[in-house]
Amino acid sequence: MKSNTGEGRQALQQARLLGVAGKVDEAIAAYEKLYGGVPDDVDVAIEYWTLVARLPARHSEGVSQLKKLNASAPGNVSLLTSLAKQMFADNKPQEGFAYLAEMARSASGRGIAADMWFSEVKSMPVSKASVQALQQFLLQFPTGSVAANARVLLDQQQAQLQDPTFRARSEGLAAVKSGNTTQAVADLQKAVQADSRDSDAVGALGQAYSQRGDRARAVAQLSKAIAMDPDSPNRGKWDSLLQTNRYWLLIKQGDNALKAGQLSQAQNYYAQAQRVDRTDSYAVLGLGDVAAARKEAAAAERYYQQALRLDRGNNLAVRGLANLYRAESPEKASAWIAGLPPAQRRSIDDIERSLTNDRLEKQAQALESQGNWAQAAEVQRRRLALDPDSVWITYRLARDLVSAGERQEADALMRTMVNRQPQDAERVYASGLYLSGNDQDDLALAQIAALPRSAWTDNIRELEARLQSDRVLRQANQLRDSGDEAQAIALIKRQPSSVRYDLTLADWAQQRGDSQTAIADYRRVLRQEADNGDARLGLAEVYLAEGDKPAARAQVMQLKGAETESMNMQRRVALARAGLGDTADAQRIFNQIVPQAKAQPPSMESALVLRDAARFATQSGAPQQALTHYREAMVASGITPAQPQDNDTFTRLTRNDSHDDWLKRGIRQRCRRPLSSAGSERHPGT
């Protein structure tokens, strides 16, 4: 149907009436029905897009289309009028005046432009800006009745601005309108001080505080203005601003209380906010956060879902639900996230990545516990792809690569990670751990030394101290192994006092049979660290060697779980239990730590566990089990990459090698002896 038919003209008139009546959606639909979409007639298209611009959700689209029409058909008075009105309504006065200036260039539009221009200037609060606007108007329209009225108004405003009090008030009102909050607050404070009964100035000051986000002051000033002049023409604006500021003030107070752990107070603030405005979602969101903090999952879920019903775009409610479901089970959270609309899903992509990372981390841990290092490394690569800059995923991947025999790749990976930010303390610390774990203490210390001391963290200081003490202890052990224990002791005693050095001296005293010195040294450590498991076990071992089982048992009974969690400490506890005759407890501990040792890459710690498990099996009358553990210890100590499968190979591997360290020598020696004669002596430092 076209508008040039009688029926079409009637339909067009009906569409226009709907627009005038404020039924914008119906009017737009009527235009589209009449024209089969967007009207192709320019004048009607102007009417159509002007209506579209009145819809908040399509305002930008409507204005953009009006501007396109103006670019393709410039000079249309109706179009320029519509655009100017849109700009003034959007608080873009300079753009509005530019359209009026364009309109004024045509004879048909000049009068309309002058009237609109002057009307807009008259509505401006009296200020320097309004005076400048009047002067600009007179340059554009120097003659005519409107110009005469403008000159009268200009003279009047210039005279008014001579009064400092009036000027502060008017400049403040103008600054509020233009959004210049700093100037508005300063000028309006002066105006209110000059006349505390000026309700317009008080209300405008409240509006300025609102623009600045100072909710408490905004509420105070707006409440005062309403009480002073309840029938003010500004009452509607003040009521709206008061409700908005009261609402967000309560939300902020609730957020602060929630952050401080004051849950009852937070709930009270959010409930008050909900009573102020039941249409906004953030008060309900706050109630959900309080319920979640109280571990009331069902209530939190209801509140978050209610918040989303009020506002589908409230991504914090989506996040709240995701975290609730994640706490219940990662699988439930992942399934729920997968069903979200794309926009909501993107808003919590960090949670989704974290869930995936957690799942992959568990897979990697399971593979590591089984000794499947290459597969674990591949899973770590997938984790790193999710978070390419993660220092600790990079570290875990490098460790797994080393265990899988890919040391060169692991080294390159860690070098690249550090070189990205060589002055980053966390990266230097992770690299130091990696290097020290791969017998590169000197390189680790060099990296730490290159980091400014002002950037050192507690972790770095602790690592540096450990590496320095490792260096000293290596030198001391070399002296001791060469037969010069006195010089080794002197070297340690020249160092700053530390528990680690004291423990070493105590261990050496124990190993050379100097029980009294060992006991004194262990007790000195315990005076510094009452829960030191090494010292406690050392005392127990000394007492066992002297045959004082009650004293040894007393020390073992005082061990704290946290101090004996490592595999090496558990090994020593098992040996102490065996020495005390608690064979069932010893067996239970070995049953726990032997699988752990077998799953680890070759290391001193895993080799010692398997060696001592073999000795314990021999003492318990299980020679075949002992033989199996000795073969496993050969692999763990690095004697051979794989267990010997026949007696000839096993016998050959028991022969001494000039490159052996004390551990390898001891394991070969044990394997050469008849299994029934295995002893229980303790090697230095083990």
Q: How confident is the model at residue 3 (pLDDT cuts 50, 70, 90)?
A: low
Query: Quick one: pLDDT at residue 226?
Result: 96
Q: Give the model confidence (pLDDT) of 272-303 as tens digits.
A: 999 999 999 999 999 999 999 999 999 999 99
Q: Give the model confidence (pLDDT) of 114-172 as tens digits.
A: 999 999 999 888 888 889 899 999 998 999 889 999 999 999 888 888 888 888 888 88
Query: Quick one: pLDDT at residue 677?
Result: 44
- Cβ(12)–Cβ(3) below 8 Å: yes
Residue ranges of alpha helices (H) inside 370-390 are: 373-386
Cα–chain-centroid distance for residue 163? Answer: 55
Contacts of residues 254-259 at CB distance under 8 Å and 24 or more positions apart, as own/partner, are 254/283, 254/286, 255/286, 258/286, 258/289, 258/290, 258/293
Q: Give the model confidence (pLDDT) of 62-102 as tens digits.
A: 999 999 999 988 889 999 999 999 999 998 988 999 999 99
Percent of the chain predicted with pLDDT > 70: 97
Query: Quick one: pLDDT at residue 669?
Result: 85
**8-state DSSP, 565:** -
Residue 682 pLDDT > 50: no
Average pLDDT, the chain: 90
Q: How confident is the model at residue 60 (pLDDT cuts 50, 70, 90)?
A: very high
What's the CA gap between 533 and 430, in Å, rounded? Answer: 27
- When pLDDT is averaged across residues 232-250 and rounded to a whole number, the result is 95
What's the CA gap between 71 and 434, in Å, rounded? Answer: 65
Task: Select the more confidently predicted residue: 157 or 459.
Answer: 459
What's the CA gap between 477 and 661, in Å, rounded? Answer: 12
Instruction: Give the range among 309-323, 345-359, 563-577, 651-665 with minimum mean pLDDT.
Output: 651-665
- Cβ(447)–Cβ(431) below 8 Å: yes
Q: Which residues of 572-588 are buried (b: 16+ CB within 10 A; e: fewer)?
A: bbbbbbbbbebeebbbe
Instruction: Give the range among 2-11, 246-255, 350-359, 671-680 with minimum mean pLDDT.
Output: 671-680
- When pLDDT is averaged across residues 354-358 and rounded to a whole number, the result is 92
Q: Give the model confidence (pLDDT) of 534-580 as tens digits.
A: 999 999 999 999 999 999 999 999 987 766 678 999 999 999 999 99
Alpha-carbon separation of residue 172 from 61, 93, 189, 207 (angstroms): 34, 18, 9, 11
Q: What is the pTM of this model?
A: 0.60
Percent of the chain predicted with pLDDT > 90: 69
- Cβ(229)–Cβ(194) below 8 Å: no
Q: Give the model confidence (pLDDT) of 483-514 as tens digits.
A: 999 999 999 999 998 899 999 999 999 999 99
- Cβ(564)–Cβ(552) below 8 Å: no
Ordered domains of the chain (ranges, CATH)? 6-162 (1.25.40.10), 170-350 (1.25.40.10), 355-471 (1.25.40.10), 497-565 (1.25.40.10), 585-686 (no CATH)
Query: Quick one: pLDDT at residue 210?
Result: 94
Residue 1 pLDDT > 60: no
Residue 681 pLDDT > 70: no
- Token look-up 């050095």 returns 501
Residue 685 pLDDT > 60: no
Residue 678 pLDDT > 50: no
Q: How confident is the model at residue 658 (pLDDT cuts 50, 70, 90)?
A: confident
- When pLDDT is averaged across residues 161-190 and rounded to a whole number, the result is 88
The H or E element containing residue 221 is helix 215-228
What's the CA gap between 523 and 537, in Å, rounded? Answer: 11
Amino acid type, 657: D
